[in-house]
Structure 1
Amino acid sequence: MSEKNREGKRAARERLAAEREKQKAAEKRRRTLIVGASVVCVLGLAAVIGVVAANSGGDGDSDTASGPVSAPQGAAGTDKLAIPVGQDTAKSTLTIWEDFRCPACKAFEDSYRTTLHELTDAGKLKVEYHLVTLIDSNMGGSGSLRAGNAAGCAQDAGKFRDYHDVLYENQPEETDDAFSKNSKLLDLAGKVDGLTTDTFTSCVNGGKHDTWIQKSYKKFQDDKLSGTPTVILNGKTLDLNSLTPQKLKEQVEAADK
Structure 2
Amino acid sequence: MSEKNRDGKRTARERLAAEREKQKAGEKRRRTLIVGASVVCVLVLAAVIGVLAANAGKKEKSSAGPAVAPSGAQGKDGLAIPVGKDGAKSTLTVWEDFRCPACQAFETAYRPTLHELADAGKLRVEYHLVRLIDGNLGGTGSLRAANAAACAQDAGKFRDYHDVLFANQPKETDDAFADNAKLIELAGKVTGLDTPAFRKCVENGTHNTWVDKSHQAFRTGGFTGTPTVLLGGKNIYQDQTMTPAKLKQMVEATDRG
TM over 0.5: yes
Partner residue, 1:52: none
Aligned residues: CA RMSD: 1.5
Deviations 1:175-226 (A, max 9, x none): 0000000000000000000000000000000000000000000011111102
- Return the offset for 1:241: 2.9
The question of whether the paired residues in 2 share the 8 Å contact of 1:66 and 1:215 is answered with no
Partner residue, 1:200: 198
Alignment CA distance shift 1:240-1:192 (3 Å): farther
Deviations 1:89-146 (A, max 9, x none): 0000000000000000000000000000000000000000000000000100000000
Q: In the TM superposition, what are the counterparts of 1:22-101 in structure 2 within 5 Å?
A: 56-58=56-58, 60=59, 62=60, 67-101=65-99
Partner residue, 2:49: none
Aligned length: 201
Give the residue type in structure 1 aligned to 2:90: S
Deviations 1:42-70 (A, max 9, x none): xxxxxxxxxxxxx9343x4x387584110
CA distance in 1, matches of 2:61, 2:206: 16
Give the residue type in structure 2 aligned to 1:198: P
Q: In the TM superposition, what are the counterparts of 1:1-257 in structure 2 within 5 Å?
A: 56-58=56-58, 60=59, 62=60, 67-238=65-236, 239-257=238-256
Partner residue, 2:10: none
- Return the offset for 1:242: 2.4
Give the residue type in structure 1 aligned to 2:67: V
- Structure 2 runs not aligned, ≥5 long: 1-54
CA distance in 2, matches of 1:162, 1:57: 33
Partner residue, 1:23: none
Percent of aligned positions that are identical: 64
SS at match of 2:125: strand
Partner residue, 1:47: none
The question of whether the paired residues in 1 share the 8 Å contact of 2:62 and 2:205 is answered with no
- Return the offset for 1:236: 1.7
- Structure 1 runs not aligned, ≥5 long: 1-54
Partner residue, 1:45: none
CA distance in 1, matches of 2:181, 2:67: 24
Flag the structure with larger Rg: 2
Q: Which 4+ stretches in 1 moved above 4 angstroms?
A: 63-67
CA distance in 1, matches of 2:231, 2:248: 11
In proportion to residue count, which structure has more helix?
A: 2
CA distance in 2, matches of 1:150, 1:64: 13
